Amino acid sequence: MTDLFSPIALRDLTLRNRTVVAPMCQYSAIDGFANDWHFAHLSRFAIGGFGLVIFEATGVVAEGRISYGDLGLWKDEQIAPLARIVDFIHSQGAAAGIQLAHAGRKASTPVSWRKPEDLATEEQRRAAGYEHWQPVAPSAESNNPDDPTFQVPTALDKAGIKHVIDGFVAATRRAEKAGFDTVEIHAAHGYLLNQFLSPLANHRTDEYGGSLENRMRLVLEVTEAVRAAWPAQKPLLVRLSVSDNAQGGWTVEDSIVLARELKARGVDAIDCSSGGFAQGRISASAGYQVPFASAVKKGADIPTMAVGLLGDVESANDILAKGDADFIALARGALNDPNWPVHAQRQLGSKDYSLWPVQARRVSEHDRVLGLQAS
């Protein structure tokens, strides 16, 4: 029976269990460089027993960051700080992935917790690593004209599209040098590749716009280029917004078509999320995106990752047992409990404490004394 603690192999990578930390932007980098915050934030999940820890959306080019506080992999100097974190994650028995991203028209947005008065002086801006730049997109249309956070982007020309593809390739090669086990192409949440996919954002009239085939073109070109640059023995993931959750937008059926094409180009699993455009609305509740993972898994015959308020252990285990997804990914749930896997294992009745780091296995005595161990 498939459950949370069944190992799973993707190409030559075997994960110790099906629990995944989904990418979570920390908006805490300067000039794209990982620092001690990123080390502490990500390392605790490996200590807590997760099978795969995926680093936050990482800009493949400087102008592809969501904000000036995002991680980046657009230059070689950014490799070493990431490699330090990867090495520690490996030392704890977990695998490390990185989400490669371009924000498109949602780039150069503010860091939410910084107020204008926090960036009033040149010294404050320098200390925060503040930058501001002109975003690019498939079409010269704001993500939300009613929100001054978003700028009107410049529409990408052919040279700009090539620059994006080249950026993904170069970042992929740097990810390999940093020791990552997998990379995830970010084509969700209203960012650049999702913008090309969606009729809500893509109003081009060339070969990158119009028909479904044309709107998929850039995602498939990026995928082919990344797969060629990424070692054949290592898996490649893609995150999709399976539905825009908006009338006239990208649909589940479109995602199934795309997932089949991605599989044919060497993608090994689809990370299934949704939404990202101002027009889209969906009511969030526990497990609300699981049907997306199930539809893509069954429609495209490809492993999928479910994400979205999946912290209930029994329900998460049941998703896998029913075959609706192959991985359970947590974001806010992992922030709330970085030890979620080891706690989940105990809740499911295991007496095995080997998933705990050796330095922390005395927890077993704590649990025995308090009667928390399964009988």
Q: Choose, from 27, 68, 130, 191, the residue flagged as catalytic.
A: 191
The residue whose two tokens read 């409990």 is 337
Extract the tokens encoding 356: 């705990």
**Closest listed residue to residue 53, CA positions, set 319, 338, 316, 343:** 338
Instruction: Enter the tokens of residue 175.
Output: 């990810």
Beta pairing partners, 96: 53
Residues 6+ apart with CB under 8 A from 251: 243, 244
Q: How many residues does the chain have?
A: 375
Where would I find the H helices in the chain? Answer: 36-47, 79-91, 122-128, 158-177, 192-197, 212-229, 252-264, 290-300, 313-321, 332-336, 340-347, 363-369
191 included as an active-site residue: yes
- As a whole number of angstroms, the distance between CA 136 and CA 235 comes to 29
Q: What angle do CA 235, 164, 53 make, to 5 degrees?
A: 35
Which position has the token pair 């299934």? Answer: 272
CA atoms within 13 A of residue 66's CA, in its CB half-sphere: 22
Give the integer Cα–Cα distance in Å for 348 and 355: 14
Burial of 374 (0-12, 13-18, 19+ CB in 10 A): exposed
The position carrying tokens 């992999």 is 73
Task: Supply the residues annotated as catalytic.
Answer: 191
